[in-house]
Amino acid sequence: MGVCSSTPVSAEEAAKIDLKKIEKMTAERERIEACQAEKRRKSRSRSSGRESESDHDDEEPNDDEMEAMGLA
């Protein structure tokens, strides 16, 4: 955004932009976690044998996604 901008961005404005990005990513992370919690809940109600594997598989990619976003 600000990299290609012809007008300089103050440090305060840049901080506000960064804060908005972080808030957006945090909200997305919370939405993903809520969705996965619901999937795990449904999975547990159907089958108790697979729950530990599905829990582990669901959590791993999110940590990688957070690292890719620079929040981890």
The tens place of each residue's pLDDT in the chain, 72 residues long, gives 455 655 778 999 999 999 999 999 999 999 999 999 999 999 888 776 544 444 444 445 566 566 666 654
The alpha carbon of residue 13 and the mean position of all alpha carbons in its chain are separated, in whole angstroms, by: 24
Q: Is residue 21 part of a domain?
A: yes
What pTM did the predictor assign?
A: 0.46
Q: Is residue 29 part of a domain?
A: yes
Locate 63 and state its tokens: 């940590």
The boundaries of the domain holding residue 19 are 11-69
Cα–Cα distance for residue pair 24/26, rounded to 1 Å: 5
Query: Total structural domains in the chain?
Result: 1
